[in-house]
Structure 1
Amino acid sequence: MTILVGYSPSPEGKAAVTFGIDQAKAFDDTVIVLNAGIGETPDERGVATNQDMDELKEALRSSKVSHEILQFLRGNDPVEELLALAEATEDTRMIVIGSRRRSPVGKLIMGSTAQRIILDADVPVVSVKADKKA
């Protein structure tokens, strides 16, 4: 089976990768990590730099889980890319995403990205928070 992780270079994104690795170890699954963005600007929010990607590769390599890293910068919305990949990967066990801590009002209205993934995914979605110290 496959665990699909939506990655952004943030504490929440790193927490999602860590959770995905832990689940892959527990179930002997493969992890596919996807970083996606529109790709219109080099400093687009959520898009991993070469340094971010190198750190991600090292974390996955050292975990010794079967893995694949994808980065799509082809003009599509990151949510669309993640959901399309989940649908195209027939054995997706779950999607893992990072989520930010929110104020009481922010909790009432979840972020649009996370909300779209949770509502539109055909597989379970796990939302992971970063460590409070991160």
Structure 2
Amino acid sequence: MLGYVPNELGDGAASAAVDEARSRGASLVVVNTTRADRLVDPGYADDADMARLEQTLRSSGVEYAVHHGTSKDTAAEDVLDAAEKSGAELIVIGLRHRTPVGKLIIDSTAQTILLGARCNVLAVKLA
């Protein structure tokens, strides 16, 4: 399972997710959603972002499915729900550095996934 965002961090997580799926002989489920009531969401991939990601996934040779669209839930809830429904062994997410105050003030999608997952979570951090 990959919680994807269209940026360098998301691309790093996608690469790690492909490697994990390949090493486990597993298929990959990719989730990129946004709340239906949000007008702008930098974590939501546009058509060009999704085309680039799908090209990467096709060339990897890993079997995959993509869940992309709007939802009534948060992105974290969508990732956790998809992981539960698919019986995911592992969730792969990108993790950016946040200050302690930033963690306190702003709810983190990554933190919600880390704390709510019923399977292992691989948090990919760029160097």
Same fold flag (TM > 0.5)? yes
CA RMSD of the aligned region, Å? 2.0
2:93 is the counterpart of 1:97:
yes
Q: Decide which moves more: 16-25 or 107-116.
A: 107-116
2:127 is the counterpart of 1:125:
no
The 5 Å alignment of 1:23-38 reads 23-38=20-35
The 5 Å alignment of 1:36-115 reads 36-41=33-38, 43-90=40-87, 92-103=88-99, 105=100, 112-115=108-111
Q: For residue 40 of structure 1, report the CA deviation from its aligned partner.
A: 3.3
Give the Cα separation in 1 of the matches to 2:24 and 2:102: 31
Number of positions where the alignment pairs a residue of Structure 1 with one of Structure 2? 126
Give the Cα separation in 1 of the matches to 2:101 and 2:125: 14
Give the Cα separation in 1 of the matches to 2:124 and 2:107: 14
Gaps of 5+ in 1: none
Percent identity over the alignment? 31
CA distance 1:123–1:54, change in 2 (3 Å): same
**Segments of 4+ moved more than 4 angstroms:** 106-111
> TM-score w.r.t. structure 2 length?
0.88
Give the Cα separation in 1 of the matches to 2:53 and 2:30: 9
Q: For residue 11 of structure 1, report the CA deviation from its aligned partner.
A: 1.1
Give the Cα separation in 2 of the matches to 1:41 and 1:118: 23
> TM-score w.r.t. structure 1 length?
0.84
CA distance 1:111–1:10, change in 2 (3 Å): farther
Residue 73 of structure 1 aligns to a residue whose secondary structure is: strand
